Amino acid sequence: MVRELASRLGVAVPVLIKQLMKQGVMATITQEIPFEVASRVAQDLGFVVERPKSEEERFQERVRQVQAARSPQAARPRPPVVTIMGHVDHGKTTLLDAIRKTRVAAQEYGGITQHIGAYQVELNGRRITFLDTPGHEAFTAMRARGAQVTDVAVLVVAADDGVMPQTVEAIDHARAANVPIVVALNKIDKPAANPDRVKQQLAELGLVPEEWGGDTVMVPVSALRQEGIQDLLEMILLVADLRELKANPDGPAEGVVIEAQLDRGRGPVATVLVREGTLRVGDPVVAGTVAGRVRALMDDQGRSLPSAGPSTPVVVLGLEDVPQPGDTLVVAPDEESARRVAQERLERLRTEQLRPTARATLEALARAGEQEAQELRMILKADVQGSLEALRSALGKLAQEPVKLHILHAAVGGITEADVNLASASGAVIFGFNVRPDANARRAAERDRVEIRTYRVIYELIDDVKAAMAGLLKPRVEERVVGRAEVRRTFKVPGVGVVAGCYVTEGKLLRGGAVRVVRDGVVVFDGRIGSLKRFKDDVREVAQGFECGVGIERFQDVKEGDVLEAYETVEVAPAAPGVGAAGRA
């Protein structure tokens, strides 16, 4: 309260109010003011401000102390953590199984293999940790949550099929994370296998095999027949060795939750990958917003362990609730403080202060454009290969501007959740040309505050990027989606043309309003709603949850499964910091 603050600072109320006005804050004598404002004013008046420490700050301080106490000299080599990626059906799951089966000795313990999200295998006395959820989607989703655990990516490419869209995506996702790639040329047992062709395709993408003078390790394997697995493991270790992966097993543990669920008998169960230190039974811990005390630790064969060191995946029992994958788990000094930190985080989450901080937006980049070493990271999605190439070459010509342009991923197709996760993990902006985000991508972008900009004219996209790079991004017309509808059936109406029988899933459709026809994320037509009917009646609008018949002006090619996206355009003032403009979806 202003009065209270004035008396504590020993200044007259009008003096304080004047100071507040200088800060642009209009306050009355009985008004509550935020801590930040109060402290700035107090500082202006010559005071030294000390903020009461929160539980979190005290906890983080302690974590830093623990980290500082870990001497780098005591760090020892740790097993690499590996994620398997690749196109669907190229054999990721089969390969994970084949690798797991190399653990013959382990069977002697009589343990029954359980899926816990990760497992370890041994080769010549060294261990490798495999994450058991294959695919770059899971990899990047974890990264978007701030947890990068993978050290080496194994890219599975079926030798009979070659490079496919998700192969390219996986490469881009691994590269954006700076994770080295080992290629497994799979299915070499198949008569149609053509490893040389695959190598050629990969070389074109910058993954040049060693035997051709490049530095990408490629290992022919047959996951199905379990051939070449040993070689693959050896190569993974070799590539990992170049990274000199080390961790210090001393001291309290830090780890990352990679999987978690509620087990009927055992309560909350989380698989944690230990990063540093050693996790022990009895340790009080905090994982994200969840506190607990480690009641038991188990490996992926159900054997109980007294402790787990770096790169070891373990099942942790004893948490009070189910944490989120990607949460960090940290050992706390005692159960009480673990609980207090978890409670404070939960409260902050409720007031939404834990939302991710403002991500990269084009405006933010434009404003920061003056500074050196600025980089505009982008993900580019387009309707067809031709426009993608045109965009790429036009953007390539902008290279000498003060801001560096880095295209993390460029592909044909609609904007997906994987794109949003990649943008979120890498601080990138997504540009779509004649494509739209699907429902999952929209939700994820909303949640992670990732900017999606969509365009229908190539030079507008180029102009915006150019302007952003030069720090001159102008506000412009914003598009707002007012409704979405699914096309469930189509009818030919004599004299009228094709009418789409739709179900409005969101917002509303307006007769005469602008509408886009979106097919698999690609905009196939952009025009107006010519006719709108409920049963036999012409209507002006149809709201969410209702069915209707839609005729689109000058467009007869509407198909079942298409999405109609109704939108309007509004003039917008210069965008506020951190808020995307132009076609923000």
SS3 282: coil
Which residue lies nearer to ligand GDP by CB, 55 or 189? 189
Structure tokens at 63: 């974590």
* Residue 153 vs 430, nearer CB to ligand GDP: 153
Q: Could you tell me if 61 and 293 are in contact, meaning their C-beta atoms sit under 8 angstroms apart?
A: no
Residue number, 187 or 466, with CB nearest to ligand GDP:
187
Query: In residues, how long is the chain?
Result: 585
Query: What's the min distance (Å) between Cβ of 259 and ligand GDP?
Result: 18
Rounded distance between C-alpha atoms, residue 315 and residue 283, angstroms: 14
Nearer to ligand GDP, 198 or 223 (CB): 223
Nearer to ligand GDP, 93 or 301 (CB): 93
The rounded distance, in Å, linking the Cα atoms of 9 and 505 is 57
**Residue type present at position 19:** Q
Instruction: Please measure the distance between the N-terminal and C-terminal CA atoms of the chain and give it in whole angstroms.
Output: 40
Per the rule left: phi > 0, alpha: psi between -120 and 50, beta: everything else, 90 is alpha
For residue 224, the minimal CB distance to ligand GDP (Å) is 3
Contact 224, 279 (CB under 8 A): no
Least distance to ligand GDP, CB of residue 95, Å:
7
Give a three-class secondary structure readout of 118-157.
Answer: EEEEEECCEEEEEECCCCHHHHHHHHHCCCCCCCEEEEEE
Decide the pairing of beta strands 328-331 and 284-287.
Answer: antiparallel
* DSSP codes joined into one string, 207-225: --BGGGT--B-EEE-BTTT
| Minimal distance, residue 86 CB to ligand GDP, in Å | 6
d(CA 468, CA 486) in angstroms, rounded, equals 35
> Nearest to residue 89, comparing CAs of 187, 6, 23, 200?
187
- Closest by Cα among 415, 421, 367 to 145: 421
Question: Which residues have a Cβ under 8 Å from the Cβ of 265 and sit 6 or more positions away?
Answer: none
From CA 443, how far away is CA 436, in angstroms rounded? 13
Q: Which is nearer to ligand GDP, 187 or 442 (CB)?
A: 187
Residue 158 or 500 with smaller CB distance to ligand GDP: 158
Nearer to ligand GDP, 90 or 519 (CB): 90
Scanning 292-401, the segments in alpha helix (DSSP H) are: 335-350, 362-368, 385-396
Q: For ligand GDP, give the closer residue by CB, 99 or 338.
A: 99
Cβ distance to ligand GDP smaller for residue 174 or 382: 174
Nearer to ligand GDP, 97 or 448 (CB): 97
The whole-angstrom separation of Cα 2 and Cα 97 is 66
CB-based contacts of 235: which residues, under 8 Å, 6+ apart?
Answer: 182, 217, 219
User: Which of the 8 DSSP states describes residue 574?
Assistant: S
> What is the closest distance, in whole angstroms, from the C-beta atom of residue 167 to ligand GDP in the complex?
11
The β-bridge partners of 181 are: 153
Q: Which is nearer to ligand GDP, 170 or 581 (CB)?
A: 170
Residue pair 464/582 in contact (Cβ under 8 Å)? The answer is yes
Cβ count within 10 A of residue 114: 12
Contact 253, 97 (CB under 8 A): no
Cβ 89 to ligand GDP, closest distance in Å? 4
Instruction: Rank residues 235 and 329 by Cβ distance to ligand GDP and give the closer one.
Output: 235
- The token pair at 523 is 């905009």
What residues contact residue 416 under an 8 Å CB cut-off, 6+ apart? 437, 438, 440, 441, 521
Smallest distance from ligand GDP to CB 93, Å:
3
Q: Which is nearer to ligand GDP, 88 or 472 (CB)?
A: 88
To the nearest whole angstrom, how small is the minimum distance from the Cβ of residue 567 to ligand GDP? 37
C-beta nearest to ligand GDP: residue = 91
How far is residue 467 CA from its own chain's centroid?
Answer: 27
Integer Cα distance of 375 and 402 in angstroms? 9
Positions that interact with ligand GDP (CB under 6 A): 86, 88-94, 134, 186-187, 189-190, 222-224
